[in-house]
Structure 1
Amino acid sequence: MTFSSQFKQLGKVALACGLATSLVACGGSSETAQKKEEAKKEIAAQKATKADFNIILNNAPEPTAIPVLLERSGAEFDATLLNKRESATSYTLTEASSALNFGVYLSDIAYLSAFGKAQEAIDYFTTAKTLSDKLGISQAMGEDLSEKLEKSLSDKEAMLKVISSSEGKVKQFLNTNSQYDVAALIVTGTTLEALHISLGLVHNAPADLPEAARDALLVDLMSSIAKQRSSIDAIVEILAPLQNGGDKAVEYAKAFKALQAEYDKLNFDEKLKDNKGGYQLKADDLKGISTIVEKLRTMTVSE
């Protein structure tokens, strides 16, 4: 039984309890009666707290939000930060890998679009479609999505709107069909890639820029990274209901909680407040965040 089919089975029990989504797996020949009973109790607990998984998913960051901030920072586009298109076929082996890396490619597409790389964005969409087909969500995005993207080639704002709209349709479709787990991993991949790209632009900032210009660029990039704290908080909340759903959910939840701790240490708000008193936050300060993000990202895209 796959990760997603387990959640579909549980969705039937959740519906009977009045909870319109799924939480943990309760089916499967290898599962004991005791574990099934524990799963039912957990559903009842979630019902008692009136968990609304659609609201939780809607708290996820827009896939286009961070790429737009990065473009406005004045940073130069860096193609080396993108995930490789040729890696896509290897992600179809497991549902979890397909979901995570579909999210990664969504961020890449948004990044390309925000920096005016329209044709490359469409090429990446073609690659990502391999994964959306695997996940059974291509139809949810709209059969005319490719056509819409092509029509928006000369208008990056229109392309970004198409991407955000399609991602929203996917989340709604998956949640409605008791596949909250897949939706959760998609937005986790999207958030992870946005962090990876942001950190990469900071570390790759041109060393030959005049100090004042480089500091100004870094302040804007640092600000975009600081704003991603809310995205990290959202992912922790999104993954919380899946703590008994599979190793992937547990592993990523643990890593994003560690990112919360690193953000707390940095105290971004105080250091970047009004950008007064000179530049106070250096790229080296991001080592803790970078270590976690790059380890997680490497694990994600290497599968």
Structure 2
Amino acid sequence: MKNKLILGGVLLMMAYACGSGEEKQEVATVVEQETVDAANVNYNIPSPSEQFALISKMDAVKNTKILHDPALADKYSNSAQKALNFGVYTADVAYLTSFNETNKYLSYFGKMEKLGSDIGVAQVFGTELGELAKKWDGNADSLFKLSDDVYNRTFQRLIEIDKGEELSLMLVGGWIESMHLMIGSSKGFGKSPKLDQALADQKLVAENLLEFLVSYQDNATVKEYSSAIEEVINAFEDLDCNSGETKVQNTNGKLTFSGGESCKMTQKCFDNLSKKIKEIRTKIITA
């Protein structure tokens, strides 16, 4: 049985910043929790939009110079590259939206539609990508509302049509790019303490992502990038972590774990993460 993946939204339609301050606080809580169902294991992997909706309000600095160039999308020749970079562009779109760079936003739509078509996932989106672009009034919240129904069914549909391998690579590309953008938006270790903590919290996200990838190890590229994610997790070993009491809440048969280990960023971990993420991202985006 395939693992059930929880995404607040992971593909293009899932890449929009939204919500009030209260909603964003709930997102932050999800990152620190793991939910276990009796029949399925649910892996909490926040979408780039959820990440950046929080980060744009932190002590980060907007840095659009480090986004991936959408013009390079035409240079990717194989399906693995296209799936990985579809994920990369997903994170870039979320970043632009969260930092209100809406003038650059639509330049990504056509490229992502083309990549989606090339890797055989366009049938999931249908004509809805184009319709979202046409209906968009420039307001990120309205775009989120328009795409709400779409993204809630997208990831599960990809698994149903045996596109789990493509989804896996999209997730890898999106998360690596999210980490790249987070690090690139930092003022430097210790100078953006809230962002430092957000980066430390990505340890759990990386572990959850790796658990999802396990289901698709028959794919050589998924296996290769699983090893890359393991290397990132190893870099997190230099966090300053303390163990606390783990609290378990049972809600309608689902157990939610909170508390437990709490970690803070260190200079060594920050430097090692920066180096490792740059290395993996360079490999992903190089045609």
Q: Distance in 2 between matches of 1:175 and 1:234?
A: 17
Structure 1 segment 222-241 matched on structure 2, within 5 A: 222-241=196-215
Aligned residue-pair number: 233
Q: Is the 8 A contact 1:122 1:150 kept in 2?
A: no
SS in 2 for 1:83: coil
2:276 is equivalent to residue 292 of structure 1: yes
Structure with larger Rg: 1
Q: Is the 8 A contact 2:238 2:269 kept in 1?
A: no
Residue of 64, 67, 82 corresponding to 1:82: 67
Q: Distance in 1 between matches of 2:104 and 2:123?
A: 22
1:237 to partner: Cα distance: 0.7
Structure 1 segment 1-303 matched on structure 2, within 5 A: 19=1, 59-91=44-76, 93-160=77-144, 166-202=150-186, 205=187, 218-246=192-220, 248-267=221-240, 285-303=269-287
Q: Distance in 2 between matches of 1:225 and 1:20?
A: 29
SS in 2 for 1:64: helix
Q: Distance in 2 between matches of 1:151 and 1:268?
A: 46
Q: 1:253 to 1:133 in 2, by over 3 A?
A: same
Q: Distance in 1 between matches of 2:238 and 2:280?
A: 20
User: Quick one: percent identity of the two aligned structures?
Assistant: 22
1:128 to partner: Cα distance: 1.4
1:173 to partner: Cα distance: 2.2
Q: 1:263 to 1:232 in 2, by over 3 A?
A: same
Q: Is the 8 A contact 2:45 2:209 kept in 1?
A: yes
**TM, length-normalised to structure 2:** 0.71
Q: Is the 8 A contact 2:182 2:199 kept in 1?
A: yes
1:134 to partner: Cα distance: 0.6
Which consecutive residues of structure 2, in runs of 5 or more, have no partner in the other structure? 4-37, 244-263
Q: 1:90 to 1:165 in 2, by over 3 A?
A: farther
What is the one-letter code of the residue matched to 1:64? S
Q: 1:79 to 1:103 in 2, by over 3 A?
A: same
Deviations along 1:261-294, whole A, 9 cap, x unmatched?
2212212679xxxxxxxxx856564111111111
Q: 1:88 to 1:169 in 2, by over 3 A?
A: farther
What RMSD over aligned residues (CA atoms) do the two structures have, in Å?
2.8
Deviations along 1:148-192, whole A, 9 cap, x unmatched?
245344322333455676555432222011121111111111111
Deviations along 1:78-133, whole A, 9 cap, x unmatched?
11111111110122x11111111000000111111111122312211222112011
Q: Is the 8 A contact 2:84 2:173 kept in 1?
A: yes
SS in 1 for 2:62: coil
Q: Is the 8 A contact 2:210 2:229 kept in 1?
A: yes
Q: Distance in 1 between matches of 2:2 and 2:271?
A: 41
SS in 2 for 1:73: coil
Per residue, is there more strand in 1 or in 2?
Answer: 2
Q: Distance in 1 between matches of 2:148 and 2:168?
A: 16
Per residue, is there more helix in 1 or in 2?
Answer: 1
SS in 2 for 1:183: helix
1:230 to partner: Cα distance: 2.3
Which consecutive residues of structure 1, in runs of 5 or more, have no partner in the other structure? 1-18, 22-49, 207-213, 271-279
What is the one-letter code of the residue matched to 2:194? D
Q: Is the 8 A contact 2:238 2:268 kept in 1?
A: no
Q: Distance in 2 between matches of 1:87 and 1:240?
A: 30
Q: Distance in 2 between matches of 1:261 and 1:164?
A: 35
Deviations along 1:173-225, whole A, 9 cap, x unmatched?
220111211111111111111001011112xx28xxxxxxx95x611111221
Q: Is the 8 A contact 1:114 1:160 kept in 2?
A: no
Q: 1:257 to 1:118 in 2, by over 3 A?
A: same
Question: Structure with the greater relative contact order (CA < 8 A, sep ≥ 6): 1 or 2?
Answer: 2
